[in-house]
Amino acid sequence: MESAFDHGNRAIGADGSPLGSGKPEDLSFLCSVINSSKLQKVGIGNNKFGGVFPKCMGSLSTTLTRFSASINEIIGEIPEEIGNFSNLEVLHLGANSLSGAIPSNLRNLQNLAVLILNQNNLGGTIPSFLGNLTKLLELYLEGNNFHGQIPSHLSNCRSLDQLDLSENNLSGAIPPQLIGLSSLAIILNLSCNHLSGVLPIEVGNLTALTAFDISNNLLVGEIPSSLGDCIALTSLRMGGNFFHGSIPQSFRWLGGIEDLDLSQNNLSGQIPAFLAIFHSLKLLNLSHNKFEGMLPREGVFKNATGTSIIGNNELCGGLPEFRLPTCISKSFESGKIHMVILSTFVISGVLGLALILAFIYLCWLKKKVTEQVSSSMDDSRRNVSYGTLLKATDNFSPMNLVGVGSFGSIYKGILEENQIAIAVKVLHLAHHGALKSFIAECDALKNIKHRNLLKILTVCSSSDYQGSDFKALVYEFMDNGSLERWLHPNASSSHGNELPKRLNFVQRISIAIDVASALDYLHHQCHTPIVHCDLKPSNILLDVEMVAHVGDFGLAKFLVGSSLDSVANQMSSMGLRGTIGYAPPEYAMGCEVSREGDVYSYGILLLEMFTGLSPTDDTFRDNLTLHSYVANALPKQVLEITDNILREERESHLGPYTPPHWLSKSDGIFQECLLMVYNIGVACSYEVPGRRMSISGVTNKLHQIREKLFALGLHG
């Protein structure tokens, strides 16, 4: 075993080596290293070690951070002496023949992040003290003989993102506190137990969860509609229970689902048509229920091998491979045809009337500008004079020009009255749409207030010294400029001597959280929801503390009378909104703006922030997009597609020394966080609006990523 020591006796590594004979004394070699005061890691997994853990284990160094002996032939009980390793972060004893209960001394492992005891013969109840291990990220106890109820104390593990208690003898109800633990982001598996009662509505809190399995239990009642809030799910298995009622309509939000199993329940009603438009859905099992009506013929229902509907005797139609009876035609079909024809005439008339009204509106618009601007700004934002802005910007000197947009130029200035630094956006009124942009921005900003929105200080709506119309918006000046200048300094900077700008991992996550928080406020917390319509790096400004502020509301739109449902299917006469590369594809087809459109732009922005590639980069040709580029690379090429600055940060954090035979935990978490970011970006930028992630779910998941990075010692 000496050859398996690293320099300084910090680690013992024998993972995967053909060591051990299955004899009782196999693990006695551990006693030879009890004097290694610097020992940090022991890895002897995937071997043939037999026997029991020796008593001398209690004398191993207290500096031990990782102990792995999985996939061996070890018997006996887990030694209580393991509780002496107060610095232990990973304990992996899975796939052995260990028996007895989980020792009470494990409560002392307050730094434990990963506990894997799966596929053993452990018994007794799951101890409630596991809930006191508040740093726990992963808990795997599946494939044992645990009985009794699931302890509600596990909900105290606020960082827990992976929990597997399947294949045990657990009974009783699912604790609402646990099923509502929003940190669970990767897997929650409670299958193959004897759990009873209803599925708590708190399940809707699992908005970041990707895999949920409660199959083969004794659960009853209807499927709670709140399950539709778990929009990050890719696998949902609920088969082998006693659920009744219909499939909730809220499931329409689970557009990223790949594997859905509702088999062997008492579900009834018609199969929802929205399942046929879930492009990610590859496996669908609805067998042995009481579904009725017509079987869809599109999407997953075109795949007879990936879809199972046997045991539903009231179904009809579908592809011939399903061997279902032909559906009886309904008498109202002819009536529907007449309604379609009538609707066509009505829509044509409405569109004609809309064109007339639009012409009248354009004639009236310019006359009302001054009145509208006045009503848009409260007393604290009175008009400032042209002369004041002229003096503040040194006659709009090119030296003070900090940016040029579609409808205006932005200058840095200093107000003489109070020496406040300001950014002045001077509208190019000769440009088509500039006047409308000015009004839209005033309207959007007059009643909103959020720490991540660019604050407007005042406006100027008057004439210049030549008598021409002059309109400008005055904002707080953001010391660190736009996100565009940080992501692409060479392309966006007009200052040749400017030092390269570098954003680390935590800074990028924090900026992403700031932008998501701003969107969540605009979409869901304003009295009238607002869609920004032009989210991109140049419209995100960073203050002196690197807090992000979303600006430029020149294309913003109010969703007047909107509900929580998307308005993306309503037709718009306003043409394309947004910027090429960031505007969602449905806008190009004439669809009305929507919250989902902003989410698409956000997804592209997030992918750009971590790959360092603009969506209009020359890399993206022949139908290759930033979305598909990232989606095709995941999960194996997560580092290859990442910005070089972040890869350098990873190498710097790992340091020059990595022990042999060990996969660095830090590197694993670093890459896991990157993968989570890319999955969010991809989930936000799907072509189909209904499949996109909710912005509130995005914010929640990004907070979890930042907490993981903080735990690694990474900071902004």
* Domains, the chain, with CATH or none: 2-245 (3.80.10.10), 383-477 (3.30.200.20), 480-716 (1.10.510.10)
| Rounded Cα gap, residues 666 and 711, in angstroms | 10
Eight-class DSSP state of 79: P
**Backbone dihedral angles phi then psi of residue 136, each to the nearest 5 degrees:** -65, 125
- Report the pLDDT value the prediction gives residue 565, as an integer from 0 to 100: 35
Helix ranges (H only) for 377-462 are 386-392, 434-445
Q: Where are the alpha helices (DSSP H) in 469-571?
A: 483-487, 489-492, 505-520
Element (H, E) at 334: helix 333-376
Helix (H) or strand (E) holding 221: strand 218-222
Alpha carbon distance 568, 582 (integer Å): 16
List the structure tokens of 565: 């449902």
Q: CA 147 to CA 150: how far, in whole Å?
A: 9
Specify whether the CB–CB gap between 319 and 302 falls below 8 A. Answer: yes
Type and span of the H or E element at 43:
strand 41-43
Q: Residue 644's CB: how many other CB atoms inside 10 A?
A: 8
Contacts of 473 (CB under 8 A, 6+ apart): 408, 424, 425, 427, 438, 441, 442, 456, 459, 460
The rounded radius of gyration (Å) of the Cα atoms in the chain is 30
CA-nearest of 666, 454, 633 to 540 is 454
- Indicate which residues carry an active-site annotation: 534
- CA–CA distance, 411 with 543 (Å, rounded to integer): 16
Whether the bond between 635 and the residue before it is cis, its omega within 30 degrees of 0, is yes
The set of residues, in sequence order, having a beta carbon less than 8 Å from that of 3 and lying 6+ positions away, is none
Which pLDDT belongs to residue 404? 76
Using CB atoms within 10 Å of the CB of residue 38, give its burial: 0 to 12 exposed, 13 to 18 middle, 19+ buried: exposed
d(CA 531, CA 363): 26
Q: Which pLDDT score, from 0 to 100, does residue 470 have?
A: 86
**Which tokens is 341 given?**
């024809």
Contacts of 76 (CB under 8 A, 6+ apart): 51, 52, 53, 98, 99, 100
The sign one gets for the Cα dihedral 308, 310, 315, 316 is positive
- Give pLDDT, residue 668: 80
- How many C-beta atoms surround the C-beta of residue 545 within 10 A? 8
**Distance separating alpha carbons of residues 348 and 344, to the nearest angstrom:** 6
Separation CA 117–CA 129 (nearest Å): 16
pTM of the model: 0.50
Gap between the Cα atoms of 288 and 285, Å rounded: 9
Ranges of beta strands (E only) in 271-400 are 283-285, 290-295, 307-308, 314-317
Structure tokens at 619: 């890399």
Is 665 exposed, middle or buried (CB count within 10 Å of its CB: 0-12, 13-18, 19+)? middle
Contact of 629 with 621, CB cutoff 8 Å: no
Separation between Cα atoms, residue 209 and residue 182, nearest integer Å: 8
Look up residue 76 and give its amino acid.
Answer: G
Q: Rounded to the nearest 5 degrees, what angle is found at the Cα of 561, between the Cα atoms of 559 and 563?
A: 80
Q: Which amino acid is at 410?
A: I
What is the spatial distance between Cα 269 and Cα 339, in angstroms, rounded to a whole number?
26
Cα–Cα distance measured from residue 432 to residue 575, given in angstroms and rounded to the nearest whole number: 13
Going by the DSSP 8-state scheme, the letter that residue 566 receives in this structure is: -
Q: What is the amino acid identity at position 641? A: I
**pLDDT-flagged residues of the chain (< 70):** 1-18, 33-37, 61, 329-383, 406, 432-434, 437, 440-441, 443-447, 490-500, 560-577, 653-665, 716
What pLDDT is recorded for position 553?
Answer: 76
CA 197, CA 24: separation in Å to the nearest integer?
Answer: 45
